[in-house]
Structure 1
Amino acid sequence: MPRKGMKTLNWFSPKHSSATDMNSPSTSPFSSPSRFAFSPSRPSFSEAVIDRTIEMAEQMITKWDPDTTTFAKVTSVFYENRKEAKDFIKYVNNLHKAMHFHASENSRSDKLVRAQSLMQIAMKRLQKEFYQILSINRALLDPESISTVSSRTSISTRSSTSEFNIEDDDIDNRVAIAGESISEVEDISNIVMADLRLIAECMISSGYTKECLQIYKVIRKSIIDEGIYRLGVEKLSSSQVHKMDWEVMDLKIKDWLNAVNVAMKTLFDGERILCDHVFASSDAIRESCFTEISKDGAMILFSFPEIVAKNSKKSPEKVFRMLDMYTSIVEHWTEIETTFSFDSESAIRSQAMTSLVKLGESIRMALAEFDTALQKESSKTTVAGGGIHPLTIDAMNYIILLADYSYVLSDILGDSPPPAKSSLPESYFGMADSDESPAPVISLRFAWLILILLCKLDGKAKHYKDVSLAYLFLANNLRYIVVKVRSSNLKYLLGENWISKQEGKIKKFASNYEQLGWSHVIQSLPREPNSSISPQQVKEIFKRFNSSFEQAHRKQSLYVVPNSKLRDDLKVSIARKILPVYREFYNIHRDTIAKERHSSHVIKYSPEDLAHYLSDLFFGPIESGSSSSVESSPSRTIPSQLQ
Structure 2
Amino acid sequence: MDRIPIPPLKSSSFSASTVREDKLARNLSLGPIKLNEQIKEANKAAEVADSNNNNAAAGEAGEPAVEPDLAALSAEIDAFLAARDADPEFPVVSEVTLDKFASAVEQEIAETEGADDKWAGDAPPLLAAIKRIAALAAALTARNDGKYTIGVHRVTGVLHRAMTFVEDEFHAILEDPRCNKSSNNNADTGSATNKSMMMRRQASFGGAAAHGHDPDRCAIPQASDGLDPFAAETVDRLRAMAEAMLAAGYETECEQVFLVARRNALDAAAQALGYERASIDDVVRMPWEALESEVATWIKAFRHVVTAALPGERDLAARVFASSADMGRAIFADLAHCALLQLLNFTEAVAMTKRAAEKLFKVLDMYEAVRDAAPLVDAWFVINPSSESDDLKSELASVQARLGESAAAIFCDLESSIRADVAKQPVPGGAVHPLTRYLMNYLKVACEYKHTLEQVFREHHRPADDDEPDTAAGDPFAAQLMEVMELLHGNLEAKSRLYKDQSLSNIFMMNNGRYMLQKIRGSAEINAVVGEAWSRKRSTDLRQYHKNYQRETWGRVLNLLRDDGVITVKGHVQKQVLKDRFKQFNAAMDEIQRTQGAWVVSDEQLQSELRVSIAAVIVPAYRSFLGRFSQQFSAGRQTEKYIKLSGEDLEAIIEELFDGNAVSMPRRRT
* Aligned mates of 2:608, 2:350 — CA distance in 1: 50
1:456 aligns with 2:498: no
* Aligned mates of 1:594, 1:272 — CA distance in 2: 102
1:194 alignment counterpart: 236
* Aligned mates of 1:605, 1:263 — CA distance in 2: 76
1:636 alignment counterpart: none
Q: 1:555 to 1:229 in 2, by over 3 A?
A: closer
2:405 alignment counterpart: 361
1:82 alignment counterpart: 121
- Checking the alignment, whether the CA contact within 8 Å between 1:253 and 1:321 is kept in structure 2 is yes
1:329 alignment counterpart: 370
* Aligned mates of 1:63, 1:266 — CA distance in 2: 46
1:548 alignment counterpart: 588
- Checking the alignment, whether the CA contact within 8 Å between 1:462 and 1:470 is kept in structure 2 is yes
Say which structure, 1 or 2, has more relative contact order (CA 8 Å, 6+ apart): 1
- Checking the alignment, whether the CA contact within 8 Å between 2:374 and 2:393 is kept in structure 1 is no
- Match for 1:416 among 455, 461, 478? 461
- Checking the alignment, whether the CA contact within 8 Å between 1:337 and 1:349 is kept in structure 2 is yes
User: Structure 1: which amino acid aligns with 2:386?
Assistant: D
- Checking the alignment, whether the CA contact within 8 Å between 1:443 and 1:493 is kept in structure 2 is yes
Q: 1:259 to 1:405 in 2, by over 3 A?
A: same
1:557 aligns with 2:597: yes
- Alpha-carbon shift at residue 572 of structure 1 (Å): 0.7
* Aligned mates of 1:495, 1:283 — CA distance in 2: 56
- Match for 2:355 among 314, 318, 321? 314
1:220 aligns with 2:220: no
Q: 1:66 to 1:609 in 2, by over 3 A?
A: farther
- Alpha-carbon shift at residue 225 of structure 1 (Å): 4.3
Q: 1:554 to 1:260 in 2, by over 3 A?
A: same
- Checking the alignment, whether the CA contact within 8 Å between 1:287 and 1:344 is kept in structure 2 is no
- Checking the alignment, whether the CA contact within 8 Å between 2:109 and 2:162 is kept in structure 1 is no
2:37 alignment counterpart: none
**1:236-251 pair list within 5 angstroms:** 236-237=279-280, 246=288, 249-250=291-292
- Alpha-carbon shift at residue 93 of structure 1 (Å): 8.3
TM-score scaled by length of structure 2 = 0.64
User: Structure 2: which amino acid aligns with 1:395?
Assistant: L
* Aligned mates of 1:422, 1:546 — CA distance in 2: 60
Q: Unaligned stretches of 5+ in structure 1?
A: 1-42, 143-184, 424-433, 624-643
- Checking the alignment, whether the CA contact within 8 Å between 2:510 and 2:546 is kept in structure 1 is yes
Equivalent pairs, count: 514
* Aligned mates of 2:329, 2:612 — CA distance in 1: 75
1:495 aligns with 2:537: no
* Aligned mates of 1:127, 1:358 — CA distance in 2: 45
1:268 alignment counterpart: 310
* Aligned mates of 2:377, 2:109 — CA distance in 1: 48
- Checking the alignment, whether the CA contact within 8 Å between 1:275 and 1:286 is kept in structure 2 is yes
**Structure with greater Cα Rg:** 2
1:71 aligns with 2:106: no
Identity, % of aligned positions: 24
- Checking the alignment, whether the CA contact within 8 Å between 2:263 and 2:335 is kept in structure 1 is yes
- Match for 2:419 among 375, 379, 385? 375
1:279 aligns with 2:315: no
- Checking the alignment, whether the CA contact within 8 Å between 1:275 and 1:290 is kept in structure 2 is yes
- Checking the alignment, whether the CA contact within 8 Å between 1:288 and 1:344 is kept in structure 2 is no
- Alpha-carbon shift at residue 614 of structure 1 (Å): 0.8
**1:83-232 pair list within 5 angstroms:** 83=122, 85=124, 128=165, 131-132=168-169, 134-136=171-173, 138-140=175-177, 189-201=231-243, 203-204=245-246, 209-227=251-269, 231-232=274-275
User: Structure 2: which amino acid aligns with 1:557?
Assistant: G
Deviations 1:457-498 (A, max 9, x none): 111212222212111111111112222223343222112332
2:477 alignment counterpart: 442
- Checking the alignment, whether the CA contact within 8 Å between 2:472 and 2:479 is kept in structure 1 is no
1:171 alignment counterpart: none
* Aligned mates of 1:190, 1:228 — CA distance in 2: 25
- Checking the alignment, whether the CA contact within 8 Å between 1:419 and 1:448 is kept in structure 2 is no
- Checking the alignment, whether the CA contact within 8 Å between 1:302 and 1:348 is kept in structure 2 is no
- Checking the alignment, whether the CA contact within 8 Å between 1:217 and 1:293 is kept in structure 2 is yes
* Aligned mates of 1:75, 1:567 — CA distance in 2: 84
* Aligned mates of 1:442, 1:368 — CA distance in 2: 10
* Aligned mates of 1:445, 1:208 — CA distance in 2: 60
TM-score scaled by length of structure 1 = 0.66
Deviations 1:262-315 (A, max 9, x none): 3323433332221122113333201332234443332221122223323x2334
1:514 aligns with 2:550: yes
Q: 1:593 to 1:63 in 2, by over 3 A?
A: farther
* Aligned mates of 1:215, 1:366 — CA distance in 2: 44
**Secondary structure of 1:82 counterpart:** coil
* Aligned mates of 1:504, 1:340 — CA distance in 2: 58
* Aligned mates of 1:214, 1:199 — CA distance in 2: 14
- Worse-superposed segment, 387-396 or 196-205: 196-205
**Secondary structure of 2:659 counterpart:** coil
1:618 aligns with 2:658: yes
* Aligned mates of 1:550, 1:564 — CA distance in 2: 24
* Aligned mates of 1:610, 1:233 — CA distance in 2: 68
